[in-house]
Amino acid sequence: MILTFLGIESSCDDTAAAVVRSDGTILSSVVSGQTALHAAFGGVVPEIAARAHAERLDGCVEQALGRAGVALRDMDGIAVTAGPGLIGGVMAGVMLAKGLAAGTGLPLVGVNHLAGHALTPRLTDAVQFPYLMLLVSGGHCQFLRVDGAQDFTRLGGTIDDAPGEAFDKVAKLLGLPQPGGPAVEAEAAQGDPAAIRLPRPLLDRPGCDLSFSGLKTAVLRARDEAIAAHGGLRLQDRADICAAFQAAVAEVLAEKTRRALAASPVPLMAVAGGVAANGAIRAALDGVARERGVRFLAPPLALCTDNAAMIAWAGIERFRLGHRDGLDLAARPRWPLDHAAAPMLGAGKRGAKA
Ligand code: KG4
Ligand code: ZN
């Protein structure tokens, strides 16, 4: 039987609602971003985010149902991000979902945001378990082996910043606009990655853990040296620093992917998160996958970044495994996917993710 779910997402700075069917059809996916609201503060302000979610969520749900041409009564369930994320936003989504479930009698399924990202290749390409997922965004960075819709093994992750966060901070250091990723990538295209030597953090240590904050500090030093040498930051120096930074991130991600695939051989490796938009990083990961004879999959960008279609889908997968939540469903700021993994130390500017 084909199921149709409403999905709701509000764990960071995107308010989103979507209607998705269990055959993989996305009937609608509405995302209302908050970049402009936080622009003046250099990062997501949790209280502003929570307020904006509370104001926008019902409108997003109405739009998602409208665009899909369905009514709430046509749904088979309501899936909502119940964590991890900025708690005020998660609570806003969970409260709305509970209200809708209570009003309609529909089943309620709380979804882990990271599971939403990790299960996206099954929504977009119907891939089979097991596979390797690399989540790389402004708030997440981890390798997950996915063996089932509720069976994740964390192979490693960042011990400090997420890579998108590092791109954003590097952009800020170099006077480039936010979000930093696309700006740094555009600059890097004009630069020479070999002009400056930046470190390759944690490559000397075994395992799949990553670190990006030292790289950011190295960029600061390179910038100051260039300024001291020439009395200002020349455009070519800036482009070279961007190219060197991007090459360092790509190389580290590629090598850690190589290790993850060696430790846990699987037929497919997928990426998700905004950083997966980066051409050099994509190419480096694709290269490692080829080298190991593994299929490489990068879902369309709109489904790589935060959205509610992935939440609806993960809700369907959980529901099919018999999972239901009651009106006591709790919003959780932290919710590790892999209960066996040691807790991470890092808590980026977008909040601790797991
Ligand atoms: O997944 P995402 O949209 O949202 C959150 O993490 O919440 O990821 C956004 C991040 C930002 O840090 C942005 O700078 C980064 O993804 N990003 C990129 C590129 N496009 C976006 N990083 C590197 N290269 C890009 N082309
Ligand atoms: Zn996310």
Which tens digit of pLDDT belongs to each residue from 315-349? 999 999 999 999 999 999 999 998 777 655 444 44
Ranges of residues in the chain with a pLDDT under 70 are 342-354
* Ligand 1 within 6 A of CB of 191: no
Global confidence as pTM:
0.93
Select from 243, 208, 232 the least CA-distant residue to 344: 208
Structure confidence at residue 350 (pLDDT)? 46
* Ligand 1 within 6 A of CB of 33: no
Select from 176, 187, 281, 325 the least CA-distant residue to 243: 187
How many Cα neighbours within 13 Å face the side chain of 50?
A: 15
Ligand 1 atom nearest 168 alpha carbon: 14
Q: Kindly report the protein residue whose alpha carbon is nearest to atom 18 of ligand 1.
A: 181
Structure confidence at residue 303 (pLDDT)? 96
Structure confidence at residue 88 (pLDDT)? 97
Segment (H or E) for 111: strand 108-112
Ligand 1 atom nearest 14 alpha carbon: 7
Token digits of residue 342: 């040691």
Q: How far apart are CA 107 and CA 296, in angstroms?
A: 35
* Ligand 1 within 6 A of CB of 181: yes
* Ligand 1 within 6 A of CB of 5: no
Domains within the chain, CATH numbers bracketed: 4-121+303-320 (3.30.420.40), 127-302 (3.30.420.40)
Question: For a substitution probing ligand 1, which of 137, 215, 252 has the most ligand atoms within 8 Å of its CB?
Answer: 137
